[in-house]
Amino acid sequence: MTHTIIINLDAPPQPAPLGERLLQDMINELHWPEGATCVTQEIDGEIIYWNAPVAQVLEARQVAGETKGMVREVGFGYIVHSDEFEELAVDWFSAVAINKQVKI
């Protein structure tokens, strides 16, 4: 039996409830995967760890804002790992949390 999974990147995702913490505070309790330079959050609560240059992700975050997903702006190939959160950071639409071990 074969199953087909369809991912529609054009359909708007369901927003997660808005929390009270900043993105940086949310990820402080998580482990940084090897090679990750920075983290962003999508409207559905997904936390994405990137290995792209920080400047590239910062620029993409400005372009994406609240209406576009970061994967489209940065590129799928730069994803190191992702985690699901049940709530949004208050600054999810503008924040890029930077790995403290990365030199900018």
Burial class (CB in 10 A: 0-12, 13-18, 19+), 26: buried
Instruction: Tell me if 4 is assigned to some domain.
Output: no
pLDDT tens digits for 55-96?
999 999 999 988 888 999 999 999 999 998 899 999 999 999
**Beta strand segments in 8-45, E:** 38-41
Contact call for residues 86 and 21 (beta carbons, < 8 A): no
CA distances from 74 to 29, 43, 78, 86 (A): 25, 16, 7, 23
Domain around 71: 23-98
pLDDT band at 9 (very low <50, low <70, confident <90, very high): low
Instruction: Tell me if 93 is assigned to some domain.
Output: yes
Of the given ranges (10-14, 37-41, 73-77), which has the lowest mean pLDDT? 10-14
Instruction: Tell me if 104 is assigned to some domain.
Output: no
Looking at the structure of the chain, the number of domains it has is 1
pLDDT band at 4 (very low <50, low <70, confident <90, very high): confident
Share of the chain above pLDDT 70, in %: 92
Structure pTM? 0.84
Instruction: Tell me if 83 is assigned to some domain.
Output: yes
- Per-residue pLDDT, averaged over 47-52, amounts to 97
Instruction: Tell me if 15 is assigned to some domain.
Output: no
Instruction: Tell me if 103 is assigned to some domain.
Output: no
Instruction: Tell me if 14 is assigned to some domain.
Output: no
Instruction: Tell me if 11 is assigned to some domain.
Output: no
